[in-house]
Amino acid sequence: MDTIGILGAGAMGSGIAQVAAAAGHKVVLCDNLTIALSKASKGIQASMKTLTERGKISDSDAYSLFSRIQFADHMSQFRDCTMVIEAIQEDIEQKQIAFKSMEAIVAESAILASNTSSLSISAMGAQLRHPERILGVHFFNPAPLMRLVEIIPALQTTAEVVERGKKLIDNWGKVTVIAKDTPGFIVNRVARPYYGEALRMLDEGIADIATIDWAMRDLAGFRMGPFELMDFIGNDINYAVTEVVFENFYFDPRYKPSFTQKRLVDSHYFGRKTGRGFYDYRPGAEMPQPVKDKALGGEIANRILAMLINEAADALHWRIASRDDIDLAMTRGVNYPKGLLAWADEIGISVIVEKLDSLYVEYLEDRYRCSPLLRKMQRQDLTFYGK
């Protein structure tokens, strides 16, 4: 079986190491900080303990999984790896330096992969002698639990490398989707309106956080409302992703961040992890109650859903991913109750186009422009999954 190298033993690197070892690979987990390695080792052991206590794996399987992971403080140990996944901090220069060093160590056929959530894979390949073996493999946090992995070929990547990398990760029990090397790939792009449009309605005073969360959870069927989800993810992280996507899309107003969330970040009201976010999680704090007005709730849900579907349709229009991969990414990556394109068929393309057009007429902002694909489909009476 192939030996897999992981560079960076932080939250993501240690999780990916566990996934690869669980699939039977020998893993070399490398970090330049000894403290990070010992933290990763303790974290994986704790995770093994939970799994054995819950009867998910036997003691001997947990032991052999853990013994397949070698903790290394230098990347020279990557010599025999057929794929190395880089999971160091989100900094293009640091990643480029790391890839250059790794290329001097591994065999010429080894895949060099990055777990970046926002940087250009093609830019990482540019520094390599053999850029055709660079590949994006975007795991979600926590890697052992989240099933989706976005596979992102760079401009330079060969089809053989994409196929080999995808096959490897498919065998780890993950669901893989192929995404174009563009900001946010699939999930972090298509999901933006879930947060952005909710924030916009809050800022306009259309409804409060509890009512918007209630509408999206109880009426639209999402697992968490936008504000509880932002508090769960962490407003610092969620805001940073929005900002990166906004900047990398040359300031497209569709992805514009919100001052309200920025002020929360400024105040270190990051959400659950700091005890305060949109909601107050401190002991004894009162949770605001929603106004359970079905007409208002329906308006909220329809507006956010129309914006999400527009984003998904536009991703298809710009060939970011296939129809099936876009729907799979949102149902498996962020647990949406339905694929957005299948949902569009159910609601009716014309209904979505009319909703977007009514928002556009109301605001006269580019943010609400309807995707050319939806408009064409309406004209030709097409659906995503049918005709």
As annotated, the active-site residues are: 117, 138, 150, 188
Q: Which of 3, 4, 5, 12 binds ligand NAD (CB under 6 A)?
A: 12
* Site for ligand NAD contains 18 (CB under 6 A): no
Sign of CA dihedral 226, 231, 234, 237: positive
10 counts as binding ligand NAD under rule CB under 6 A: yes
CA 126, CA 117: separation in Å to the nearest integer? 18
DSSP secondary structure string for all residues of 14-80: HHHHHHHHHTT-EEEEE-S-HHHHHHHHHHHHHHHHHHHHTTSS-HHHHHHHHHTEEEESSGGGGGG
From the list 83-91, 209-217, 223-231, 301-309, the region that binds ligand NAD by CB under 6 A is 83-91
What six digits make up the tokens of 281?
Answer: 């999680």
By CB under 6 A, name the one of 54, 55, 60, 89 that touches ligand NAD. Answer: 89
Q: Which of 1, 24, 33, 358 binds ligand NAD (CB under 6 A)?
A: 33
Classify residue 327 as left (phi > 0), alpha (psi -120 to 50) or beta: alpha
**Residue 296 contacts residue 219 (beta carbons within 8 Å):** no
Rule CB under 6 A: say whether 234 interacts with ligand NAD.
Answer: no
Q: Among 32, 96, 274, 383, which residue interacts with ligand NAD (rule: CB under 6 A)? A: 32
- Could you give phi then psi for residue 126, rounded to 5 degrees? -60, -25
Closest chain position to ligand NAD (CB): 10
Residue 152 amino acid letter: I
Sign of CA dihedral 227, 230, 231, 235: negative
**Applying CB under 6 A, does 90 fall inside the site for ligand NAD?**
yes
Measured from the CB of residue 158, what is the shortest distance to ligand NAD in angstroms?
A: 23
Scan residues 98-137 and list those touching ligand NAD (CB under 6 A). 98, 115-117
Out of 17, 18, 27, 31, the residue judged to bind ligand NAD by CB under 6 A:
31
94 vs 109 by CB, closer to ligand NAD? 94
Q: Tell me the closest approach of the beta carbon of residue 268 to ligand NAD, in angstroms.
A: 18
- If one asks whether residue 87 binds ligand NAD (CB under 6 A), the answer comes out as yes
The answer to whether 43 contacts ligand NAD (rule: CB under 6 A) is no
Sheet holding 175-178, edge to edge: 69-72, 26-30, 3-7, 81-86, 111-114, 134-139, 148-153, 175-178
Q: Which is closer to ligand NAD, CB of 39 or CB of 375? A: 39
Sequence letter at residue 376: K
User: What number of chain residues touch ligand NAD (CB under 6 A)?
Assistant: 24
CB nearer ligand NAD, residue 336 or residue 368? 336
Count Cβ atoms below 10 Å from residue 89 Cβ, excluding itself: 8
Q: Which two tokens stand for residue 263?
A: 């002020």
What b/e readout covers 183-197, taking b as 16+ CB neighbours within 10 angstroms? bbbbbbbbbbbbbbb
Asked if 216 interacts with ligand NAD (CB under 6 A), we say: no
Helix %, strand %, coil % of the chain (to 5): 55, 10, 35
Residue 89 C-beta: closest distance to ligand NAD, Å = 5
Q: Where are the beta strands (DSSP E) in the chain?
A: 3-7, 26-30, 69-72, 81-86, 111-114, 134-139, 148-153, 175-178
Question: Is 141 an interacting residue with respect to ligand NAD (CB under 6 A)?
Answer: yes
Min dist. Cβ of residue 9 to ligand NAD (A): 5
When the beta carbons of 139 and 269 are compared against ligand NAD, the nearer one is: 139
**Looking only at residues 331 through 370 of this chain, which bind ligand NAD when binding is defined by CB under 6 A?**
none
* Residue 13 contacts ligand NAD per CB under 6 A: yes
The nearer residue to ligand NAD, 76 or 141, going by C-beta atoms, is: 141
* Euclidean distance between CA atoms 387 and 381, whole angstroms: 8
Please report, as ranges, the residues that interact with ligand NAD according to CB under 6 A: 7-13, 30-33, 36, 87-90, 94, 98, 115-117, 139-141
